[in-house]
Amino acid sequence: MYLFVINPRSGGGAGQRSWLRIERLLKERAAEYEALHTESASSAGSDVMQALSGREHWSACVVIGGDGTIHSVLEALRTRGVPLGIVPAGSGNDTARAFGIPLEPKAALDAALGGIRVPVDLLAGNGYTLTAVASGFDAQVAENVNASRYKRVCNALHAGRLAYLIGILHTLITFKPCRASIVCDGQEHTFEDVWLASVCNLPSYGGGLLIAPQARPDDGRLDVCVVYGCSRMQLLRLFPTVLKGSHVSLPFVTMLRGTSAAVSFERERPAIGDGESLGRGALAVRCEPGALTVLAPRAWAAADPAPQAQVGAGREGGA
């Protein structure tokens, strides 16, 4: 029996459109399933927990939505030991990208129903996160965009990405970097003028920004990317390099790797996990190895592991 969790709003309505397609396919295949349309991030966890309590054995819980929707069910799936399948229907879909899950609904359904089971790590701290816990500039962009009027206008014009572009420029003008301390596996690193500190389990977020290109979901470790001590113009020029992951060799970028990371900014900064708000306090994140099972296409396991990129590269702001 499969539980399908559908966020109709994800990807500006793509969740509902994908579900209509998937429902037809499930009926054609005479698959056994239950469908749960979730209303909000805050109630989804308990709704899924309740649905899962209805029977002892589930083959998988298949999420039709984006990274935020997946985030909302992680704790329930971890607690019940139910594998996660994904039919990507968000705007970013970085979780699906990391596991090579196709964007096309039928191919994604094939991976969910007939894929391999991959034990993957979760980031624990302020709940559970699968992609990355990001604090500082990028979390501020998300906060500014979500609170803005231009997001509503852009969404009405079907130009969601434009809202983020405006958000980046708006945040670039108003955001003030400050000192931050990052304790990774017990070792403290202090950086001046920190723009962002991202604790990553998967290589990308924000729709393919390769913030930690060397991150692997199944290596029992987390990767921290710190951007600090650069000008606004340098930060702006960093964005195209993040698309390829080549920012890791820039002198104002440091990568750390370990099993735990605590991030505290001198001034209060927002944080997001899988793109969802985690509030504004200090962050303590640890890697919980193999805490979740993800259903991935067979080809994913056969692919070469990500090359070991440089870690600990770059200049530190005086520990």
Ligand X SMILES: Nc1ncnc2c1ncn2[C@@H]1O[C@H](COP(=O)(O)OP(=O)(O)OP(=O)(O)O)[C@@H](O)[C@H]1O
Structure tokens at 305: 């592991």
User: What is the pattern of x (binds ligand X, CB under 6 A) and - over residues 236-275?
Assistant: ---------------------------------------x
Give whichever of 44 and 222 is closer to ligand X, judged by the CB atom: 44
Contact positions with ligand X (CB under 6 A) in 20-49:
38-41, 44
For residue 286, state whether it binds ligand X (rule: CB under 6 A): no
Site size with ligand X, rule: CB under 6 A? 21
- How far is CA 84 from its chain centroid? 15
Minimum distance, C-beta of residue 18 to ligand X, in the bound complex (Å): 12
Measure the CA–CA gap between 158 and 152, rounded to whole angstroms: 10
Question: Which residue shows structure tokens 């500190």?
Answer: 197
Where does this chain touch ligand X (CB under 6 A) — which range of 53-61, 91-99, 208-216, 239-247? 91-99
What SS3 state is found at 88? strand
* Binder of ligand X out of 92, 115, 273, 297 (CB under 6 A): 92
The residue among 38, 29, 36 whose CA lies nearest residue 4 is 36
86 Cβ contact partners less than 8 Å away, ≥ 6 residues apart: 62, 63, 70, 95, 96, 99, 101, 108, 111, 112, 294, 295
Minimum distance, C-beta of residue 92 to ligand X, in the bound complex (Å): 3
For residue 68, state whether it binds ligand X (rule: CB under 6 A): yes
What SS3 state is found at 224? strand
For residue 90, state whether it binds ligand X (rule: CB under 6 A): yes
Minimum distance, C-beta of residue 137 to ligand X, in the bound complex (Å): 17
3-class SS string, 239-252 = HHHHHHCHHHHCCC
Measure the CA–CA gap between 154 and 164, rounded to whole angstroms: 9
* Binder of ligand X out of 2, 26, 72, 203 (CB under 6 A): 72
Give whichever of 40 and 187 is closer to ligand X, judged by the CB atom: 40
The site for ligand X (CB under 6 A) is made up of 7, 9-11, 38-41, 44, 65-69, 72, 90-93, 275-276
